[in-house]
Structure 1
Amino acid sequence: MKTILFVTDLYYPAKGRNYYEEDLFLTSQLRESFALTICHPQDIHAFEKHYDLIVIRNAGPVANFKDEYLAFRERAAANRYKTYNSFDGKGDMNGKDYLLELTKAGYPVIPTIDDVKWIEKLPDAGTYISKPKDGADSIGLERISSNELTSKLSAGEDRNILIQPFIDFEYEVSFYFIDHEFQYALYAPDKQKRWMLTEYVPTAEDLKFANRFIEWNNLAWGIQRVDACRTKQGELLLVELEDLNPYLSLLELQPDIRQKFVENFKHSLQKALQA
């Protein structure tokens, strides 16, 4: 039986959901097919050499253990460790600079800059959002009025911050993929309660939108979550492409959809092990 080092932080205090419940469910399912050990992200170095595959799940934002994460990625490359997700993604696993790239390339993404001197490249807005490039879970996110923008974010002073116009969207919706295959979608009908999710049935146009980012990312294997917002004009815009350890809201799913996801996840893990 193949061995898995399942990396998670069971005590991470996520807003509005319990990470540990999802990972306890997942590990209970994976133990049917793999020999599995749960490991905190700060302890990977002590175990990594002894496992066939290292699976990074609900470990929380890497900003909380950035040095350990970067060191692990270096060791994984040097020692050819098999990781899940694969470390060839271009999304959140490398920070949020990709939002700048996608903006320049004309993708349907919330327009993004990282220097206030480029503010004319953004649509006029009374309010802007600033957030750190290595952030997650809204950590470090701040709303700034247009009058405060220059004083709070001096030109060229901190290129680790992204700046976006504040979007008064209708709702947020997330599309979940294993490898390049769509699995399910969830949305928050009440945008004030972003983690009260319900099933969303995507249109063909919705899936075309989400697949553009999956194809762009070209991840070898792994779970990806395409987060988007629906504007007042009906357009979908990318919020982020989570390709490292996306929370899956598995326990919010109908049992048949959840079980199908688990089986597809196991199949993907086997594919990663054989690569």
Structure 2
Amino acid sequence: MNTLLFVTDLYYEAKGRTYYAEDLFLTSRLRESFALTICHPKDIQAFEKKYDLIVLRNAGPVANFKDEYWSFRQRAAKNGYRTYNSFNGKADMNGKEYLLELTKAGYPVIPTVDHMERIDALPKVPSYMCKPKDGADSIGLERVSSNDLPSRLNVWEERSMLVQPFIDFEYEVSFYFIDHEFQYALYAPDKTKRWILSEYVPNLEDLQFANRFIEWNRLDFGIQRVDACRTKQGELLLVELEDLNPYLSLLELTPDIRERFVERLKHSLQKTIQA
């Protein structure tokens, strides 16, 4: 039986989500097919050499264990460790600067800049959303009025923050993929209750939107979540592409969708080990 090192922080508290419950469910199912050990991200170096595959899951923001994370990535590249997700993604696993790249390339993303010299490239709106480049789970997110924006940017470390126009969207929707294959979608019908989710049935245009970012990322192996918002004009815009350890809302799914996802994940993990 192949071995998995399942890296997570069961005590990380996330607003509106029970990370530990999802991970306990998922590990209970993966143990049907793998010999599995749970490990905190700060302890990974003590275990990493002993396993066929190292799976990074709900460990919370990388900022909480930044040194350990980047040291592990260096060792993984040097020693050829198999990791899941693979570390060749271009999105959140490297911070949020990719939003600048996607903006410049004309992708359907919330327009993003990182310094005052490019503020004129953004739509003129009463307020803006500012977030750290290495942030996650809305940590450090701040809504700033257009009048206060120059002074706030001067306070922050140069180019450490991303700036986006505040968008009064209709709802947020997330598309979940394993190895470039769409699995399911969820959305928050009430935008004031971001983590009260319902199943979303995407149409062809929605899937084309999500697939465009999956194709751009070219991740070898792993789970990706494409987060988007629906504007008042009906357009979908990318909020973020989570390609490191996306929360899956597994316990919010119907039993049949959840079961299909788990079996597909098992297959993907085996394929990664054998690659």
What is the TM-score normalised by the length of structure 1? 0.99
Contact kept? 1:179, 1:221, Cα under 8 Å: yes
- Secondary structure of 2:185's counterpart equals strand
Corresponding position of 1:224: 224
Contact kept? 1:129, 1:166, Cα under 8 Å: yes
Corresponding position of 2:77: 77
Corresponding position of 1:146: 146
1:107 aligns with 2:107: yes
In 2, Cα distance between the equivalents of 1:39 and 1:157? 33
Corresponding position of 2:212: 212
Corresponding position of 1:176: 176
* Deviating 4+ runs (over 3 angstroms): none
Contact kept? 1:176, 1:223, Cα under 8 Å: yes
Letter in 1 for 2:33: S
Letter in 2 for 1:120: D
Alignment CA distance shift 1:75-1:32 (3 Å): same
What is the TM-score normalised by the length of structure 2? 0.99
In 2, Cα distance between the equivalents of 1:255 and 1:273? 27
- Secondary structure of 1:150's counterpart equals helix
1:190 aligns with 2:162: no
CA RMSD after TM alignment: 1.0
- Secondary structure of 1:9's counterpart equals coil
Shift in Å at residue 154 of structure 1?
2.4
Structure 1 residue ranges without an equivalent (≥5): none
Shift in Å at residue 158 of structure 1?
1.7
- Total equivalences in the alignment: 275
Letter in 1 for 2:26: L
Which residues in structure 2 correspond to 1:153-168 (within 5 Å)?
Answer: 153-154=153-154, 157-168=157-168
Corresponding position of 1:8: 8
In 2, Cα distance between the equivalents of 1:102 and 1:240? 11
In 2, Cα distance between the equivalents of 1:134 and 1:193? 24
Corresponding position of 1:56: 56
Q: Percent identity, please.
A: 79
In 2, Cα distance between the equivalents of 1:248 and 1:53? 20
Shift in Å at residue 116 of structure 1?
1.6
In 2, Cα distance between the equivalents of 1:61 and 1:120? 31
In 2, Cα distance between the equivalents of 1:152 and 1:160? 12
Corresponding position of 1:29: 29
In 2, Cα distance between the equivalents of 1:205 and 1:238? 14
Corresponding position of 2:134: 134
In 2, Cα distance between the equivalents of 1:89 and 1:17? 25
In 1, Cα distance between the equivalents of 2:22 and 2:261? 13
Corresponding position of 1:265: 265
